Amino acid sequence: MDNALAMSNHDAAVLILAAGKGTRLKSSLAKVLHHAGGRPLIDHVVRACLPLHPKRIIAVVGHQAEQVSATVEPLGAETVLQQPQNGTGHALLVSKRAIGNAKYVIVLPGDAPLIRTETLRTLLQKHKTANAAATILTAVLADPSGYGRILRKSGDTVAAIIEESQLTPDQRELNEINSSIYCFTAAKLWPALAHVKPNNKHREIYLTDAISVLNSSGETVLAEIAPDPRETLGCNTRADLAAVDRTFREWKRDQLMRDGVTIQLPETVLVDPDGTRCTIRTGSVLRDATLGDGVLVEPHCVIDSSRLESEVILGPFARLRPESHLLKGARVGNFVEIKKSTIGEGSKAPHLSYIGDAKVGSKSNIGAGTITCNYDGFAKHPTTIGNRVFVGSDTVLVAPVKLGDGAYIAAGSVITENVPPDALGIARGRQSTKPNWAAKKRRELSANSTHHPKKKPHKKRR
């Protein structure tokens, strides 16, 4: 990397718009927390900005502010609360103080996760070089529907952004779209935004309207076409999320193949952006498996259509059949077979077990030789094991059956009835101990042998 590229951008603040609800997803989860490419959308956006080393990265939060903040703050972003959410322009106005005296403001929507650092760097560079008031990252799309359109004035300069709902029939032909990624010169941005009125059916202050204000006051607004149009894709619908996820997976496979990894039928292989620090030891076969960070697969494990979250330790000699889900820090050891079951955080099944159609909570211990009897010859039945349950060795759990939180199961039990929280379940024959029985038996046996002397030994051959 040359020095100019490695340079930080202390004159710029990054503002990520992430306060909206995402009504079109029809979801209870805030839009920017939906996953694509193995991470929340906003996570990708913050990570793309980090290498720019801006003065600060600010996320505008509102809907599910706490969860969104909890996602971005560990990555190094600050947050500003926008309540209520009166539009993308309003999101900038509430962030004015946090942006402070930064000379440039790079704005990104939290729902467009495919943006690359290099593209942002180029955008900022062009903006500075041209001494523009605003530079918009755009893309030319075959199907521009759903996006605001760029109305060009001449050459590189822009007259306005027209939101889809406000397009005239002629303007529907425009296929250059607004990515909602911009670079603004702060001193020009604030006066322009002050002139924007909520002139739309949602009564929102649209950031896009600041563009025509800048243009009317004689300022330069540029458009920079993204090198790959997919970098601008926003996720307003579930179909958008799927399309963006597909692109992430494709990019990841391309990268791996460039790095020398052979991938057969690449379109069928799904790799998260960076499961780091994983170890897969010899003789293990993984098919359609998803591994979090720091997973250790010991030798000779077979994993089929299953998911192992971070810090899981598996094997040696473990088998995960389809739909097994091992949560963070779970441990599944030798000669354990798991089928269609969840093993909760930090729970352990270290040896010789069959766990099928079961849900195990967190911090539970499944003793050696525990078997879930999930099949009665006709149908499969579920087993539910709560949190902090201790299942003694050689226990048979006859499903359907539930073990409450904190329950304790005596070793060697055949459990056919639910065990309530914190109770002991014991189901086995009681031991009876007969003192001196063995010594007596031995005495009897030796007494018998004196009354019935042994057969005469065979005559020795002469």
Catalytic: which of 351, 381, 451, 458?
351
Q: CA torsion angle for 121, 124, 127, 130 (degrees, to 10)?
A: -60
User: Could you please report the per-residue DSSP string of 20-34?
Assistant: ---GGG--SS-GGGS
Angle, alpha carbons 212-217-221 (nearest 5°)? 55
The residue type at 78:
E
Q: Does 236 bind Mg ion (CB under 5 A)?
A: yes
In the complex, the smallest distance separating the C-beta of residue 149 from ligand UD1, rounded to whole angstroms, is 8
Chain centroid to CA 307? 12
Closest residue to ligand UD1 in the complex (CB): 148
268, 285 Cβ separation under 8 angstroms: no
CA distance 212 to 280: 56
Min dist CB 426 to ligand UD1, Å, is: 55
How far is the CA of 45 from the CAs of 57, 181, 255, 342, in angstroms?
A: 11, 11, 19, 31
- Cβ proximity to Mg ion, 82 vs 342, nearer residue: 82
Asked about 351 being catalytic, the answer comes back as yes
Q: Does 86 bind ligand UD1 (CB under 6 A)?
A: yes
**Number of residues in contact with Mg ion under rule CB under 5 A:** 3
Residues in contact with ligand UD1, shown as a per-residue x/- string from 393 to 432 under the rule CB under 6 A? ----------------------------------------
Cα 211 to Cα 233: distance, rounded to the nearest angstrom: 21
Shortest Å distance, C-beta 180 to ligand UD1: 4
Nearer to ligand UD1, 85 or 395 (CB): 85
Q: Is residue 284 near ligand UD1 by the rule CB under 6 A?
A: no
**Would you state the structure tokens that stand for residue 365, as one six-digit string?**
């211990």
Nearer to ligand UD1, 31 or 331 (CB): 31
CB of 17 to ligand UD1, least distance (A): 3
**Is there binding between residue 108 and ligand UD1 (CB under 6 A)?**
no
Judged by beta carbon, residue 236 or residue 342, the one nearer Mg ion is 236
Q: Is 247 in the site for ligand UD1 (CB under 6 A)?
A: no
**Interface with Mg ion, residue 208, by CB under 5 A:** no
- Report in angstroms the alpha-carbon separations of 68 from 105, 201, 233, 293, 335: 21, 28, 21, 22, 41
Beta carbons of 377 and 360 less than 8 angstroms apart = no
Q: Which does 177 bind (CB under 5 to 8 A by kind): Mg ion, ligand UD1, none?
A: ligand UD1
H/E run at residue 140: strand 134-140
Q: Which residues bind Mg ion (CB under 5 A)?
A: 111, 234, 236
Residues at the interface with ligand UD1 (CB under 6 A): 17-20, 31-32, 60, 82, 85-88, 90-91, 109-112, 147-148, 161, 163, 177-180, 206-208, 234, 236
Point out the residues that are catalytic. 351
